Amino acid sequence: MASTDNDRRPKYQKIADSLREAIQSGEYGSGDRLPGENELMATHGVARMTARQALSVLKDEGIAESRKGAGVFVRDFRPLRRRGIQRLSQEQWGNGRSIWSADIENRTLEVDQVRVSEEAAPEHVGLVLDLADDDSVCVRRRRFVLDGKPVLLATSYLPTSVVAGSAITQENTGPGGTYARLAELGYKPVHFREEIRSRMPTREEAAQLSISAGTPVILVCRTAFADDGRPVEINEMTLDAASYILEYDFDA
Amino acid sequence: MASTDNDRRPKYQKIADSLREAIQSGEYGSGDRLPGENELMATHGVARMTARQALSVLKDEGIAESRKGAGVFVRDFRPLRRRGIQRLSQEQWGNGRSIWSADIENRTLEVDQVRVSEEAAPEHVGLVLDLADDDSVCVRRRRFVLDGKPVLLATSYLPTSVVAGSAITQENTGPGGTYARLAELGYKPVHFREEIRSRMPTREEAAQLSISAGTPVILVCRTAFADDGRPVEINEMTLDAASYILEYDFDA
């Protein structure tokens, strides 16, 4: 897509484009150090500001990152592949496996923070779950850490009337997790809807996910439906966009 | 999610959080003018820089936007809901409808740029389509405009050996589009895979999509497979994240 035929690109843009191509072609690999400002000045005969701007372009795109005192490096982008449909198949949670285990291949994805509480339902949650004004919800807030880096915040809402007294109200929901427990309670999830958006993180999200500058978040809002069409869970997830590829496989 | 119990937030953050809550609660609606720097200074007893920073937070998150000389306004977020699975069902393109028509409800989504060319296959495309080194591809580049604003760039790659001589090599592919033509050629798409990522736009993408500062793009890479499992099309899409919600509905 690089418009190599366009000679009217500003100098910093040309340098950024050629570095990007070198990264995409594999000349610079994940974690490699890119040429610094001095090298770019010498190679391209440009001023320091131009060299700096070129590197900024790649940092803004999330392709490269500065490391203090060491230079600018190709960002280590080894995302999780999150298979949207397979991971939620009943074969997964119906056999006592965590749905998260489907994502991770040979890597370590851990929950490092869990908070479970009973709260008044936020308005948009109450509307979707079709709750009365004074119905409360069980709120499960979790943070997931991959290879030591926080990658995902998940906040799950379930009607208290459905989950009261079950392991869903505990930090550890047991084998197969929330969906296996919902099935035991007579609310087996049979259908899911996932809505995906993307935006820049709030400062709080950026802090909780240790997100580098110039990296957006992906928001996934999932609704789980029981057999009678009743929505039984809303799960609002905030993903570090540099850590995830979402995949959906389906027939025509 | 706002941590109202955290009194150690910086002042600008508290102001930004309270404005965000007012927007989310509907106190300020889409297109409404937010309090300006002078108002925020008076209301919260803060310096101009603090008021400015608070508004910057909301602009960076894509919730608000500056209009020259008029102030800061709640961004008009009326996204397209792109139903990933239904839109690609055979009932759609098999009956002569454009798959894009599934997205738009009562709005106008138009292609304002089409370029079709025969090109050497980019390496990653050749690998997925399982092409020989000297096989070429038909490349269809389109830009889609919603209500007058560009929202989507789509570049589709198909093996020349499959599509040569068909309407797929024309700007107008006819009723039902590329997929209906592939079916006529004996390569009916029966399975799709969509991979979704998000990052900040390149300057070129930002220009082509007229993207406001602080708005990421969503990348959707779709592969279409024929009956024998052969991949017959790769479509690389770049979406203005402020213009889209992607939705996937599926069974457990």
Q: What is the DSSP string of A30-93?
A: TTPBPP-HHHHHHHHT--HHHHHHHHHHHHHTTSEEEETTTEEEE-----EEEETTGGGSHHHH
Kindly indicate the confidence band of residue B4, based on its pLDDT and cuts at 50, 70 and 90: very low
Give the number of other CB atoms < 10 A from CB of residue B118: 12
Residues B58 and B171 occupy one common structural domain: no
β-partners of residue A88 are none
Q: Is position B1 within any domain?
A: no
CB atoms near residue A185 (< 10 Å): 16
B114 lies in the same domain as B208:
yes
Query: Residue A88 — very low, low, confident or very high, per pLDDT cuts 50/70/90?
Result: confident
Q: Do A197 and B241 touch (CB under 8 A)?
A: yes
Same domain, A185 and A148: yes
- Phi and psi, residue A203, nearest 5°: -60, -35
* Total domains in the fold of chain A: 2
Tokens of B166: 């068909």
Same domain, yes or no: A110 and A47: no
A84 and A61 assigned to the same domain? no
Token pair, residue A1, equals 């897509």
* Contact criterion met (CB below 8 Å) for A43 and A89: no
**C-beta of residue B11 within 8 angstroms of C-beta of residue B46:** yes
pLDDT in tens, B133-175: 889 999 999 999 887 789 999 999 999 999 999 999 999 999 9
Judge if A101 and A218 occupy the same domain: yes
Q: Are B74 and B32 in contact (CB under 8 A)?
A: yes
- A158 and A214 housed in the same domain: yes
Q: How many other C-beta atoms can be found within 10 angstroms of the C-beta atom of residue B204? A: 16
Residue that finishes a domain, picked among B24, B43, B74:
B74
Q: What is the average pLDDT across A185-191?
A: 93
A-interface mutation test, from B27, B194, B199, B222, most A Cβ less than 10 A away? B199
Give the residue numbers spanning the domain of B132.
Answer: 80-247
Residues near B223 by beta carbon (within 8 Å), at least 6 away in sequence: B128, B192, B193, B231, B233, B234
- Out of B193, B204, B214, name the one closest to residue A3 (CB): B204
Question: Are residues A89 and A154 part of one domain?
Answer: yes
Residues B93 and B110 in one domain: yes
Distance CA B177, CA B154 (A): 14
Q: Which of A66-80, A97-111, B111-125, B233-247 has the lowest mean pLDDT?
A: A97-111
Nearest CB to A249 within list B79, B193, B249:
B193
Angstrom distance (rounded) from CA A52 to CA A156: 43
Give first-to-last CA distance, chain A, whole Å: 29
With CA atoms as reference, report the closest residue to B250 among A163, A156, A247: A247
Domain boundary among A24, A39, A74: A74
B122 and B221 part of one domain: yes
Residue of A125, A248, A249 best to disrupt the B interface, most CBs of B under 10 A: A248
Query: B103 and B216, same structural domain?
Result: yes
pLDDT of residue A129: 93
User: Two tokens at A115?
Assistant: 């908070």
Instruction: Please give the DSSP secondary-structure letter assigned to residue A6.
Output: -
> Edge to edge, what strands does the sheet with A231-240 contain?
A109-120, A136-146, A149-159, A231-240, A217-226, A189-199, B244-251, B80-83
ipTM for this model? 0.76
In this complex, the residue of B79, B155, B196 whose CB is nearest that of residue A245 is B196
A38-63 pLDDT, tens digit per residue, is 999 999 999 999 999 999 888 876 67
**A244-251 and A80-83: which strand pairing?**
parallel
**CA A239/CA A246 separation, integer angstroms:** 10
Per residue in A157-168, pLDDT tens?
A: 999 999 999 999
From residue A6, give the alpha-carbon distance in Å to each of A3, A13, A45, A61. Answer: 6, 11, 20, 21
Give the C-alpha distances (Å, rounded to integers) separating B13 from A52, B4, B89, B104, B150.
30, 11, 46, 37, 32
Q: Are residues B36 and B161 in the same domain?
A: no
CATH number of the domain where residue A23 is located: 1.10.10.10
Contacts B200 to A, Cβ<8 Å: 60-62, 214-216
- pLDDT for res A213: 67
Q: pLDDT tens across A90-145, in order?
A: 777 777 777 776 666 666 778 999 999 999 998 889 989 999 988 999 999 999 98
